[in-house]
């Protein structure tokens, strides 16, 4: 069903699967209104007049969907409540999988008059995905129109609203998307873009984030940052005081990115001389650094996700990686584990600093 692979279909509970099968007897929008499930999955090519192509640029495009639907999780649907696949990309699973997994009878529905540009995306709550997967959709919307349309997005973190305002959307035009809510839009605009750290996406992020950071004066002396994850749920350095005793005398300042407004976060990277940090979403701001910024990424041993190393290289930074042992009793998944800097690691930090 919904063209989901059998192995993914089996990941969903029997009850939810049975509800999905039962819902097939209901016509399009009724299936959504009563069961919270889409009427199907279509491509732009198969949508006919339900989806209008306004602009294309290689693999990318801007689409108009009259009387379309937006699911706050990240799906864009046509008037008949069918998921439009090109403008509803999932991250780890297709959006149809999430529909069935999170199915809810008589879901909340909000009517939105006028023209609404969708910035609703799967995993848009993560800073990296917001910056390089969702925010690049703005490249397909004429900047002159940003003051004329409303925009719908999850605003779970301050960086969501701050970046949209820096991109040119008046505060009153930003619609906060609520969890598990469907928005019936008079005229839906949605974009398909190539995701990830591409030259176009970097240019988009730098333009918006440099504007957002402009409210913070450029530091007279470039700073040295240690980005702490002590308040996170994973990749915390459990013996962080041992690390701070080495780096603080060398001018490093410990910061908790989640406590700072977006403009201050961006300014710290813009003005940084050196950065030490466990791998994590805060490093999505690396593209604002000077090319000569020194970077040391603390990597959990066994972790094969080199996203931020590769991103650093893309923007011309010379990133150094330090493999750090997982803490005893920690989660065996390196991405979810906490870390311990042993004597060899601490010595390597000293060597890195010179």
What pLDDT, in 10s, does the model give residues 30-58?
Answer: 999 999 999 999 999 999 899 999 999 99
Among candidate residues 141, 7, 146, 27, the one with its CA nearest the CA of residue 81? 27
Residue 344 has pLDDT above 90, yes or no: yes
For the chain, give the mean pLDDT: 95
Among candidate residues 292, 352, 294, the one with its CA nearest the CA of residue 322? 352
Report residue 115 as tokens: 């023209």
d(CA 98, CA 74): 10
d(CA 109, CA 103): 14
pLDDT of residue 245: 97
What pLDDT, in 10s, does the model give residues 117-170?
Answer: 999 998 899 999 999 999 999 999 999 888 889 999 999 999 999 999 999 999
223-353 under CATH 3.40.50, yes or no: yes
**From-to residues of CATH 3.40.50 in the chain:** 223-353
Over residues 218-225, mean pLDDT: 96
Of all residues in the chain, the percent with pLDDT exceeding 70 is: 100
Spatial CB neighbours of 169, under 8 Å, sequence gap ≥ 6: 146, 147, 151
What pLDDT, in 10s, does the model give residues 250-270?
Answer: 999 999 999 999 999 999 999
DSSP string, 177-223: PPTTEEEEEEEEEEEE---SS-HHHHHHHHHHHHHHHTTSPPPSS-E
d(CA 329, CA 200): 43
Spatial CB neighbours of 204, under 8 Å, sequence gap ≥ 6: 135, 136, 138, 139
pLDDT of residue 107: 96
Residue 192 has pLDDT above 90, yes or no: yes
pLDDT of residue 311: 93
d(CA 98, CA 132): 22
pLDDT of residue 83: 97
Among candidate residues 108, 68, 97, the one with its CA nearest the CA of residue 84? 68
pLDDT of residue 29: 93
Q: How far is CA 55 from CA 139, 148, 320, in A?
A: 11, 18, 41
Q: What angle do CA 58, 63, 66 make, to 5 degrees?
A: 165
* Rg of the Cα atoms in the chain: 22
d(CA 14, CA 26): 20
Report residue 212 as tokens: 């957002």
Report residue 124 as tokens: 């848009």
Q: How far is CA 60 from CA 53, 122, 144, 188, in A?
A: 11, 18, 20, 17
What pLDDT, in 10s, does the model give residues 67-87?
Answer: 999 999 999 999 999 999 999
């Amino acid at each position: 069903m919904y063209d989901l692979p059998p192995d993914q279909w089996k990941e969903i509970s029997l009850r939810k699967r049975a509800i999905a099968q039962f819902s097939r007897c209901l016509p399009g929008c009724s299936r959504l209104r009563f069961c919270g499930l889409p009427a199907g999955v279509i491509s732009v090519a198969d949508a006919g007049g339900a989806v209008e192509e306004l602009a294309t640029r290689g693999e990318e495009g801007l689409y108009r969907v009259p009387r379309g639907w937006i699911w706050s999780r990240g799906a864009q649907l046509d008037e008949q409540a069918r998921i439009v696949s090109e403008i509803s990309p999932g991250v780890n699973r297709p959006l149809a999988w999430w529909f069935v997994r999170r199915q809810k009878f008589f879901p909340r529905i909000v009517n939105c008059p006028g023209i609404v540009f969708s910035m609703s995306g799967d995993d848009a709550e993560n800073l990296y995905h917001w910056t390089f997967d969702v925010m690049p959709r703005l490249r397909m919307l004429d900047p002159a129109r940003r003051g004329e349309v409303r925009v719908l997005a999850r605003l779970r973190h301050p960086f969501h609203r701050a970046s949209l305002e820096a991109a040119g959307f008046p505060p009153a035009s930003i619609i906060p998307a609520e969890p598990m809510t469907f928005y019936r839009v008079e005229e839906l605009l949605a974009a398909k873009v190539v995701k990830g750290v591409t030259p176009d996406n970097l240019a988009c992020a730098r333009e918006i984030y440099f504007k957002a950071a402009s409210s913070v004066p450029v530091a007279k002396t470039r700073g040295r940052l240690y980005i702490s994850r002590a308040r996170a749920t994973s990749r915390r350095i459990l013996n962080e005081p041992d690390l701070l005793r080495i780096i603080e005398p060398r001018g490093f300042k410990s910061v908790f990115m989640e406590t700072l407004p977006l403009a201050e976060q961006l300014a710290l990277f813009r003005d940084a001389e050196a950065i030490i940090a466990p791998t994590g979403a805060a490093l999505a701001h690396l593209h604002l650094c000077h090319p000569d910024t020194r970077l040391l990424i603390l990597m959990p041993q066994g972790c094969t996700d080199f996203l931020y190393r590769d991103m650093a290289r893309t923007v011309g930074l010379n990133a150094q990686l330090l493999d750090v042992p997982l803490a005893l009793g920690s989660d065996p998944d390196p991405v979810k584990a906490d870390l311990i800097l042993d004597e060899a690691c601490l010595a390597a930090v000293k060597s890195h600093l010179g």
